[in-house]
Amino acid sequence: QKVRSLIRAGRNPREIVTGIYLTVLSRFPTKEELEVLRAYAESEAVQRQEVLIDVTWALINSPEFLYRH
Note the pLDDT tens digit of each residue in 13-54: 888 899 999 999 999 999 999 999 999 888 877 887 888 889
Phi, psi values for residue 6, rounded to 5°: -65, -45
State the pLDDT confidence band at 1, using cuts at 50, 70 and 90.
low
Alpha carbon separation from 48 to 12, 27, 37, 45 (Å, rounded): 11, 22, 11, 10
Is the distance from CB of 20 to CB of 52 less than 8 angstroms?
A: yes
pTM beyond 0.75: the answer is yes
